[in-house]
Structure 1
Amino acid sequence: MNEQFEKIFAQTTTFTAPMLKASKLAIAGLEKLVAFELATLQSYSDLTIARLKAATEISDVKGLQDFYTTQIEVLSTVRQKMMDDAKALTDIGSGVKAEFDKLAEETAAELPKVFTLKAA
């Protein structure tokens, strides 16, 4: 009885191993995405708060002119940051996809072995 249980457990483990690996990959990808999103949120929040504080410091026309000049510079920086963030997000997605593609290839290569073991 114990031998049959071990055989069934081994077969089940063989079949579920790819799903377990896929779940681990999905979680790792989610961790990367959440870390990226939190860092991005913090960065944009810090920038927004800094600009709001700068706006409250305007006390004359020259201060207003300086604020607008700085705003133009900030917009240029934000534009570049958004492009960099989009690339980073794309890289995360591409990396996760590549890992899933590799897992799919490995799993496909193992299938004939699994069915051979099952038939034996």
Structure 2
Amino acid sequence: MISLLSMSCLILFISSIIMMLASLLSKKSFIDREKASPFECGFDPISSSRMPFSLRFFLIAVIFLIFDVEIALLFPLILIMNYSSIFMWFFTSLIFLIILLIGLYHEWNQGALNWAN
């Protein structure tokens, strides 16, 4: 029977050979500055880093974050439905949704939801 040490050495040897072969046979590409740079939310990575940041992009991201968190807060309402009276659950859900819709109406009225001017 093959000992544990010899089995470990054999596995290490085979995996090293496979990694070397993959490294030698892989398609090499030239290093490109654009491909080596991280993706920055659609902004051109080669241009100057001192460009002014779009305030419109920031506001839409904040609005998305706020409404995303509010939707996540709706999930516990389903769980508490079994532990409270149906009237209390309905009243709490209705108040929460009314506040959410008032916020959505305010953002729409202020023009923050217009994607392009």
Give the alignment's TM-score, normalised by structure 1: 0.44
Bigger RCO of structures 1 and 2 (CA < 8 A, at least 6 apart)? 1
| Structure with the bigger percentage of helix | 1
